[in-house]
């Protein structure tokens, strides 16, 4: 332990503590879908696209509603665009997402299989690094790191990496994180980030990882406040439509 009261950072211990911390929390939507029987590469790809800039509490039922109607590339490609938009009701940007889903469904139906590489997936319409990594990790079981806002925030707060963007965080993690944790890191940090290591006022006082975490960017608050506050970050304008994720 150093003079700040912090223990040496031990990634194996961190993951053991993470599993304990999130054991009773709702699962991240993509992993919940997998456990409900929607774990094929195509279903994970479509569900990940639906989840872009949409809360898990919304994307989960929207995905299940869609998969009750179509869960293969051929069945999805056969849907009328207007009907697909209706099935996506509740998700953000249903119109452009419907067009992206139809385009990639037709491409995959013609090709005969979902691409099983990061590059192949990112060549599909509407698919960026996050969606591609989720599809590889959950759908194919291939080691891939999916970095969303929670993963990006938390690993930088730990001091495990220092990166300005989710894309740079992904590359930094690929260099230091043992491959056995590449899929699991998203599974654990999404619920952990929602309930404990939150953006504006993390619950450090009751966190099992507080001795491991360097609390980068977390500043003390006045006595009697609920907990420490995170340093403010620049506000980003609301997007007009989803970028590839």
Express each pLDDT in 110-140 by its tens digit: 999 999 999 999 999 999 999 999 999 999 9
- pLDDT of 234 > 50? The answer is no
Query: Which residues, in sequence order, are CB contacts of 7 under 8 Å at separation 6+?
Result: 1, 211, 212
Q: Which of 140, 169, 189 delimits the end of a domain?
A: 140
DSSP string across 198-243: -SSS--GGG-TTTTT---TTEE---TTSSS-EEPP----PPPSSPP
Separation between Cα atoms, residue 128 and residue 196, nearest integer Å:
27
Q: Which of 121, 140, 159 delimits the end of a domain?
A: 140
Exposure class string for 49-83: b at 16+ Cβ within 10 A, else e: bbbbebebeebbebbeebbeebbebeebbebeeee
Q: Which of 109, 124, 140 delimits the end of a domain?
A: 140
**Any idea what the CATH number is for the domain that residue 97 is in?**
1.10.340.30
Separation between Cα atoms, residue 150 and residue 27, nearest integer Å:
14
In a domain, residue 161? The reply is: yes
Burial class from Cβ neighbours inside 10 Å (0-12, 13-18, 19+) for residue 3 reads: exposed
Q: What is the pLDDT of residue 20?
A: 99
- pLDDT of 209 > 60? The answer is yes
């Amino acid at each position: 332990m150093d003079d700040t009261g912090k223990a040496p950072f031990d990634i194996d211990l961190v993951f053991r503590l993470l599993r304990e911390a999130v054991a009773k929390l709702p699962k991240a939507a993509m992993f919940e879908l997998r456990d409900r029987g929607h774990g094929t590469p195509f279903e994970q790809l479509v569900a990940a696209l639906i989840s872009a800039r949409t809360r898990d509490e919304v994307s989960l039922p929207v995905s299940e509603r869609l998969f009750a109607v179509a869960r293969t590339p051929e069945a999805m490609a056969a849907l009328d665009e207007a009907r697909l938009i209706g099935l996506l009701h509740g998700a953000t940007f249903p119109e452009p997402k419907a067009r992206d889903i139809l385009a990639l469904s037709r491409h995959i139906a013609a090709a005969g299989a979902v691409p099983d590489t990061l590059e192949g997936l990112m060549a599909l319409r509407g698919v960026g690094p996050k969606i591609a990594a989720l599809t590889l990790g959950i759908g194919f079981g291939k080691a891939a790191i999916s970095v969303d806002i929670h993963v990006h925030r938390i690993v930088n707060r730990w001091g495990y990496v220092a990166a300005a963007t989710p894309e740079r965080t992904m590359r930094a993690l690929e260099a230091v994180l043992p491959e056995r944790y590449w899929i699991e890191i998203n599974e654990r940090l999404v619920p952990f980030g929602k309930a404990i290591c939150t953006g504006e006022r993390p619950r450090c006082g009751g966190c099992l990882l507080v001795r491991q975490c360097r609390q980068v960017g977390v500043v003390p608050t006045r006595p009697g406040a609920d907990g420490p506050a995170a340093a403010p970050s620049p506000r980003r304008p609301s997007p007009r439509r989803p970028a590839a994720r």
